[in-house]
Structure 1
């Protein structure tokens, strides 16, 4: 099937299904604006859709997705910072009460960084982006873990680092310190549809299915 036709077919199914059931919700969101309480920072990977995983309706979550669900640290040198702009908007304009950074199993961005892409000057935009987690890569590799555990540990460690990086933004740290914003980590297993969320001690715990 031609891709354009595939998109149109999906839209037609949406109009006949979910939209009919949620027509009033869409009208309210379009008229009154959005008021999500949760921001979710996830990977762009097509296998990990936050709306599906959390069964979220339109307007419930403010979502930003990028390669390897990375939150860069505060950078005041200028430039175009899409993820940072989304965080700022979510916290300062929408007043979200929680930010979750969610990693996932079999992440290509993580695998690329482990393979050295973040040190490759010819790796383009992706290489430059994953170079943000080169230090995480070095920490994980220094642990001497079994080969079959390295990628998994890196996926978790990038979530932890991204949560730390969130606190480098003064507007985030201020809200966290005053109890108006909570930062949590998440991890999703594609194969088993298993979700883990960090507890108050920062440890990942599996959510009972």
Structure 2
């Protein structure tokens, strides 16, 4: 027995619209992707947030990005015996099999996961503290970074700074993976930290020399 149901009619209509237009106009390209396999130039680790449209931001076509999404665009540290294998598996595949040249961590404004971590750190989210909270245990990855923003009084600025910290924490954790560190060392892989403002359409990148995020 299964509880799966047919697609809602509006999604079926959208699919048929895509098949008749975008697919039909690029059929050769889709068939080439299918027969030759994927060769993405970059991996993007972004948040699950539906407002973050990775391919639209960069005008990317199918086959350009290997995309992994999770709550608050986090990468856990390298822990072969740990519990967070979904993201780690995606990173391993991108770096060791697909040989991507760039690995981008993309954070964003008004991130619910980051705000949840702030609330948890302030003792305002007992539901996230519960052992059975998947979101809470995932946000434990970011929790150690809260001290860096704890003294910021303005809530909006605190959230934005912590969103930046989520990107930096992920970049730091990426370098704990031996195959990532080796690829960075030999120059075959570069890491990038980005943050996008949903409402304004802004994009910032982390500049290690300046020690801060700078508008693109």
Q: Deviations over 1:75-103 (max 9, x none)?
A: 12154611000000000000001000000
When structure 1 is superposed on structure 2, of 77-86 and 67-76 the one drifting more is: 77-86
Number of aligned residue pairs: give it.
205
CA distance in 2: counterparts of 1:72 and 1:150, whole angstroms? 22
1:40 to 35, 44, 49: 44
Stretches of structure 2 that go unaligned for 5 or more consecutive residues are 1-5
1:159 to 139, 144, 167: 167
Q: Scaled by the length of structure 1, what TM-score is found? A: 0.92
When structure 1 is superposed on structure 2, of 34-43 and 5-14 the one drifting more is: 5-14
- Residue in structure 2 matched with residue 138 of structure 1 by the alignment: 147
Shift of 1:25: 1.0
1:20 equivalent to 2:29? Answer no
2:177 to 165, 169, 185: 169
CA distance in 1: counterparts of 2:7 and 2:72, whole angstroms? 26
Secondary structure at 1:41's aligned position in 2?
A: strand
Q: Which runs of 4+ in 1 moved over 3 A?
A: none
CA distance in 2: counterparts of 1:147 and 1:198, whole angstroms? 22
Shift of 1:198: 2.5
Q: Scaled by the length of structure 2, what TM-score is found? A: 0.89
Distance 1:139 1:97, change over 3 A: same
Considering only aligned residues, what root-mean-square deviation do their CA atoms show, in Å?
A: 1.8
- Residue in structure 1 matched with residue 3 of structure 2 by the alignment: none
Secondary structure at 2:204's aligned position in 1?
A: strand
1:97 to 87, 94, 101: 101
CA distance in 2: counterparts of 1:128 and 1:187, whole angstroms? 23
The answer (yes or no) to whether the contact 2:45–2:69 under 8 Å persists in 1 is: yes
CA distance in 1: counterparts of 2:83 and 2:165, whole angstroms? 27
